[in-house]
Every structure is written in structure tokens, then in C-alpha cells.
Amino acid sequence: MNTLNQFKNFTANLPKNGESDIMPALFMGHGSPMNGIEVNEFSAGWANMAKSVPLPTAVLVVSAHWFTRGTKITAMDFPATIHDFGGFPQALFEVQYPAPGNPALAKETASLITATAVELNHDWGLDHGAWTVIRHMYPNADIPVLQLSIDYTKGAQYHYNLAKEIAALRKKGVLILGSGNMVHNLRMVSWEMINGGGYDWAMEANDKFKTAILNKDHQALINFEQMGSEVRLAIPTPEHYLPLMYTLGLQSDKEQALLFNDKAVGGSLTMTSVKVA
């Protein structure tokens, strides 16, 4: 290709009218770790979503499975693949997702956050809330992946506000992805419904969440404890719900929410996922 054609191709991809391209923000219902190695409707939904968004410069994951005192971000060159589960087939433990990290981006992200001091962490890696989803989205493991922890001492409003502090990363091609489950009560799982179906309370809670998301009623979702008894059953502990606060906190007034992978499994889990763009 000659130099003139290269220049034409480059300029054709520049943002128009002085506006910067902004990466979507995602919330993924990740469900069972087995979704990491199975080709099913959920993993296909993740893969299709990756094809529908611009190729990111990096992925920043807020996973339900890195629940810490204080806020931390992975800052190593090559984060380890963490198998933070038990009782699953050996094939799942053998999976490695060797995506690189990005220490410079970790430092930049930490510098954007003023609500708290952010620790640059070299001991964690990519837990199953991250790699089981991302390996279907970017199977070549050639895009840097970082994780931002969830401070368990803080409430939903804090996490929603913290997300706004890192919104500038979206203009730099960073895909910010929350990974959890809106309805997540493992103590009440029904094996009879493991392939699909939810208790009435789980479906009612999920419908409340979806309605509020589509109506941009973020305050109701922040104050989820006040949404009724079915929501209290759906969120017995908050770690799988709080990643949603990051996705919603990133939503601008002009952006809409799209729901996908909207299905209940095991009676007391929902895989409902959200794209904000």
C-alpha cells in the first residue's frame, strides 16, 4: 500500500467533528465457572458482544471475586490465571489465559481515582470472574487485561461514584467490564432448574432491576436494599451485584442500556447482562 493510501485509511478512521470515540461499558452475568470452557448461549453472547464493539486497547474488569479492604488494581506485566473455585472438572483447572497486563495503565487508572488511595497490586491476577468471560471475547489473549478490586467496606453509592472517576479511560479505548450476577443466591440453587428457570422471587427481582436499568433509575438500583423482600433474597451478599454499579456509573445522559443473555438458571441466578453505549 502506498503512503497516500495509508494516509487516507488512517484519516478515514479518525473521529468526526472533533468528537472522540467512546468505548461501551459492559456488565456480564458470569454464572458458573464452567461457562469459561463451554460453548453455550452465554459464552456465545459474550463472543458476539465482543464483535459488536470496537477492539479495545485494554480491558479493565471489576470482578465479584476480588473483594478487598481498600481498592487495588493489578499492575504486573503478566497476570496469572487464578482458579478460584473447587469441585469442577480438571479441564477447567488446566485453562490458562495468558493475556498481558499493563502497568502504565494501572498507574494511570490509580491516578484518576481521588476518592481513595489505590494500591498497585502484584499478587492477584485474573480470577474466574474475569477470564471465564474474556477468553470467549478475545480468545487470542493479545489484549491487556487488568482488574480493579471492590472495596467491601463501601456501599453501592461509593462504587457508583468511583466509576465516574475512571470514565476518561473509555475515551482511550479501554473497555470497562463489570462481572457478577444481578440475582445471585447460591444457597437456594435448584438443580432441577440448573439449565434454565428461576424462582418467582428471582424473576421478580430481576424484572425490577431490568426496569430500573432501562429507565435509568440508578438511584433505585443504588438503594437496592429498599427494593423489596425479593431483592433481599436476590442479593444476600453484595459482591456479585456491585460490579453493576460500575457499569451504570459510567453511563452518560445520552447513552442507552441494552440487555442481553437475559435468562435465569438454577432458580436463584440470573445471567442478565448489560451494554451501555
In the chain, where are the structural domains located?
21-276
C-alpha cell recorded at residue 105:
495503565
Read off the pLDDT of residues 26-51 as tens digits, 9 standing for 90 and up.
999 999 999 999 999 999 999 999 99
Query: Residue 17: what pLDDT?
Result: 32
Round to whole Å and give the CA distance between 210 and 166: 24
For domain 21-276, the CATH architecture is 3-Layer(aba) Sandwich (3.40)
Mean pLDDT of 214-218: 98
**CB neighbour class for 106 (10 Å; exposed up to 12, middle 13-18, buried from 19):** buried
- Residue 6: pLDDT band with limits 50, 70, 90: very low
pLDDT for 12: 39
What DSSP element (H or E) covers 209? helix 200-214
pLDDT at 255: 98
**Residues in the chain, how many?**
277
Calpha distance 91→113 (Å, rounded): 38
Q: Find, among 175, 173, 142, 143, the residue nearest to 246 by Cα.
A: 175
Q: How far is residue 56 from each of residues 5, 23, 53, 179, 205, measured CA to CA in Å?
A: 25, 8, 8, 17, 33
16: which residues sit within 8 A by CB, 6+ positions away? none
Q: Which residues are 178's β-sheet partners? A: 27, 62
